[in-house]
């Protein structure tokens, strides 16, 4: 099952995040077909079907088929990854290593774009961002790296438990630093802030493990030290100039984020039960008070956009569930229930934390590739945090 999830993630990333309708449909069809085949094979083999997986994933399949909920492709990944981890928990780490390899390739492309061929992409010239990997927008590229960098830290944490694993730990951390370089030179301001907060959060989480406090210090020193030194050496002026834009008079108004959020809140208050999935760009113009010549497809805030489209009650339930899974993952890591689990739990917690921060000013979860990754970590985190789900749902 993780093989399918790996291929799905890879396809969505190399197809510009699967944001175009044709690629989105391919992802949706692939998910529906995979679910159908899995159920048929399980029935044929006489395997006992998990009721939670059937109801949740089957419901998402219906949702994808009947509505325009953009997060549905990601929600499918949550159920699929949960079941995949439940059936074979050992495969989760191999899936993480695959994603780490993909993240290194994305980072390499991003750095190549920044230093050698600005805005170049395979088969496409990007007019939006100088450095964005295989995605169109630098913020969504940063979102991908924000989720994969914690994998390097989580896997390094797992390796630190093994004999002669120290060398592997440092190598994995260096891989994370390399991806962090690419994130810095994507010039995504929120991406940089999210990265720093995520690494700090993960270092603080590791410090809760008394025997691993030395690893926490090593993590913070090696990761942030090498990142800062490399950034200073390569070109801190560019990064500072990017942040300097925030201090320019009227820069926030030019970006329009505050006005966008304000007008979206007005739309939510006028439609507390939601305007309907996928209708944001159509209805928002009625409440738009700035840049009337511009069309906004998204709210640049996942929390506000879900509230606007789904309604306040449903969006509160959704985000409460996301927060609960995050809390369970962090608590399970702090409890350190089994030596094979903490690294995976730490990686999932870090990846979820990063996007929860970034979602306050962007719409990563409206990008299929990013939604698939985020909800995969949710599913895996929930499975590991609940001891294969047995404490939450009876098989």
pLDDT in tens, 358-388: 999 999 999 999 999 999 999 999 999 986 4
The answer to whether residue 394 sits within a structural domain is no
Closest CA to 358 of 73, 141, 80, 67: 141
Let me know whether 339 and 374 are in one domain.
yes
The answer to whether residue 395 sits within a structural domain is no
The answer to whether residue 32 sits within a structural domain is yes
Let me know whether 360 and 265 are in one domain.
no
The answer to whether residue 305 sits within a structural domain is yes
d(C-alpha 120, C-alpha 130), whole Å: 8
Domain boundary among 261, 286, 311: 286
User: Which domain range does residue 270 map to?
Assistant: 252-286
The answer to whether residue 323 sits within a structural domain is yes
Per-residue pLDDT band for 230 (boundaries 50, 70, 90) equals low
Helices then strands, counting H and E runs in the chain, come out as 16, 2
- Structure tokens of 249? 């008079």
Q: Which residues contact 100 (CB under 8 A, 6 or more apart)?
A: 148, 151, 152, 155, 172, 175
Domain boundary among 233, 262, 286: 286
Let me know whether 281 and 359 are in one domain.
no
Tens digit of pLDDT for each residue in 83-105? Answer: 999 998 889 999 999 999 999 99
pLDDT, residue 47, reads 87
Tens digit of pLDDT for each residue in 184-212? Answer: 888 888 898 899 899 889 988 887 765 55
Closest CA to 73 of 35, 102, 37: 35
**Count of structural domains within the chain:** 2
Q: Answer yes or no: are the C-beta atoms of 63 and 362 closer than 8 Å.
A: no
The answer to whether residue 372 sits within a structural domain is yes
Residue 160, CA distances (Å) to 98, 155, 183, 202 in order: 20, 9, 26, 15
Let me know whether 265 and 357 are in one domain.
no
Q: Answer yes or no: are the C-beta atoms of 78 and 377 closer than 8 Å.
A: no
Number of neighbours of residue 238 by Cβ within 10 angstroms: 13
d(C-alpha 87, C-alpha 89), whole Å: 6
The answer to whether residue 189 sits within a structural domain is yes
Of residues 162 and 332, the one with the higher pLDDT is 332
Q: What pTM was estimated for this model as a whole?
A: 0.90
Let me know whether 22 and 103 are in one domain.
yes
Let me know whether 264 and 375 are in one domain.
no
Closest CA to 35 of 63, 52, 54: 54
Domain boundary among 236, 260, 286: 286
d(C-alpha 260, C-alpha 283), whole Å: 13
Q: Answer yes or no: are the C-beta atoms of 197 and 357 closer than 8 Å.
A: yes
pLDDT, residue 189, reads 83
Per-residue pLDDT band for 118 (boundaries 50, 70, 90) equals confident
The answer to whether residue 236 sits within a structural domain is yes
pLDDT, residue 2, reads 94
Closest CA to 176 of 161, 160, 193, 198: 198
d(C-alpha 147, C-alpha 219), whole Å: 17
Closest CA to 325 of 82, 113, 90, 144: 82
d(C-alpha 287, C-alpha 110), whole Å: 37
pLDDT, residue 392, reads 38
Interaxial angle between packed helices 342-358 and 368-385, expressed in degrees from 0 to 180 and rounded to the nearest 10: 140
| DSSP run (H or E) holding 353 | helix 342-358
Give the up-direction half-sphere exposure of residue 385: CA atoms within 13 A in the CB hemisphere: 24
Let me know whether 334 and 276 are in one domain.
no
Let me know whether 175 and 234 are in one domain.
yes
pLDDT, residue 234, reads 57
Let me know whether 203 and 301 are in one domain.
yes
Let me know whether 351 and 262 are in one domain.
no
Mean per-residue pLDDT, 21-41: 93
Let me know whether 245 and 258 are in one domain.
no
The single-letter DSSP state of residue 232 is: H
d(C-alpha 339, C-alpha 48), whole Å: 29
Let me know whether 175 and 31 are in one domain.
yes
């Amino acid at each position: 099952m993780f093989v399918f999830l790996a291929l799905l993630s890879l396809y969505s990333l190399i197809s510009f995040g699967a944001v175009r309708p044709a690629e989105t449909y391919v992802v949706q069809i692939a998910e529906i077909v995979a679910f159908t085949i899995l159920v048929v094979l399980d029935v044929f083999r006489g395997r006992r079907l998990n009721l939670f997986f059937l109801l949740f994933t089957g419901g998402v399949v219906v949702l994808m088929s009947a509505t325009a909920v953009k997060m549905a492709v990601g929600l499918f990944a949550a159920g699929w990854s949960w079941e995949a981890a439940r059936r074979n928990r050992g495969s989760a780490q191999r899936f993480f290593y695959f994603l780490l390899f993909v993240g290194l390739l994305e980072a390499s492309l991003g750095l190549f774009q920044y230093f050698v061929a600005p805005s170049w992409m395979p088969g496409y010239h990007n007019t939006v961002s100088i450095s964005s990997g295989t995605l169109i927008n630098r913020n969504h590229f940063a979102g991908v790296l924000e989720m994969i960098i914690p994998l390097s830290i989580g896997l390094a944490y797992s390796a630190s438990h093994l004999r002669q694993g120290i060398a592997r730990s440092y190598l994995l951390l260096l891989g994370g630093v390399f991806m962090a370089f690419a994130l810095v030179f994507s010039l995504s301001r929120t991406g940089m802030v999210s990265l720093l907060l995520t690494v700090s959060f993960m270092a603080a989480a590791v410090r809760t493990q008394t025997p691993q406090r030395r690893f926490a210090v090593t993590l913070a020193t090696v990761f942030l030290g090498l990142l800062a030194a490399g950034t200073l050496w390569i070109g801190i002026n560019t990064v500072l100039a990017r942040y300097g834009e925030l201090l320019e008079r009227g820069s926030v108004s030019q970006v329009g984020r505050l006005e966008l959020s304000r007008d979206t809140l007005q739309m939510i208050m006028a439609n507390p039960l939601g305007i309907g999935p996928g209708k944001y760009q159509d209805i928002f113009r009625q409440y738009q008070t700035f840049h009337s010549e511009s069309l906004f497809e998204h709210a640049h805030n996942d929390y506000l956009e879900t509230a606007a489209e789904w309604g306040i009650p449903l969006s509160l339930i959704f985000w409460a569930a996301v927060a609960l899974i995050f809390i369970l993952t962090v608590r399970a890591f702090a409890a350190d229930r089994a030596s094979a689990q903490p690294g995976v739990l730490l990686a999932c917690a870090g990846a979820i934390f990063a996007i929860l921060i970034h979602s306050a000013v962007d719409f990563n979860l409206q990008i299929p590739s990013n939604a698939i990754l985020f909800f995969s970590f949710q599913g895996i985190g929930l499975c590991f945090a609940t001891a294969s789900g047995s404490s939450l749902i009876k098989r």
